[in-house]
Amino acid sequence: MKKILAKDLDEDHAKILRRVGATEVIHPEKDPAIRVSRALSRPNMVDFIPWPTSSTWSRWK
């Protein structure tokens, strides 16, 4: 069986790609956002986030 991957721009584009034969549609903005949100919702994830130091905060102001 052939596997046809396609990259979409939005949900409407994904529907069109599936209609013309794409077996899997990749969502370049949506997929990483889901992974990040799942990772952030896990316990102890805050240990892996590099929190800025006070000197970094002063540079942002």
CB within 8 Å of 39: residues ≥ 6 apart: 45
pLDDT of residue 17: 95
Q: With 90 as the cut, is the pLDDT of residue 38 above it?
A: no
d(CA 22, CA 4): 5
**Stretch 37-54: mean pLDDT:** 65
- The pTM of the full predicted model, rounded to 2 decimals, is 0.51
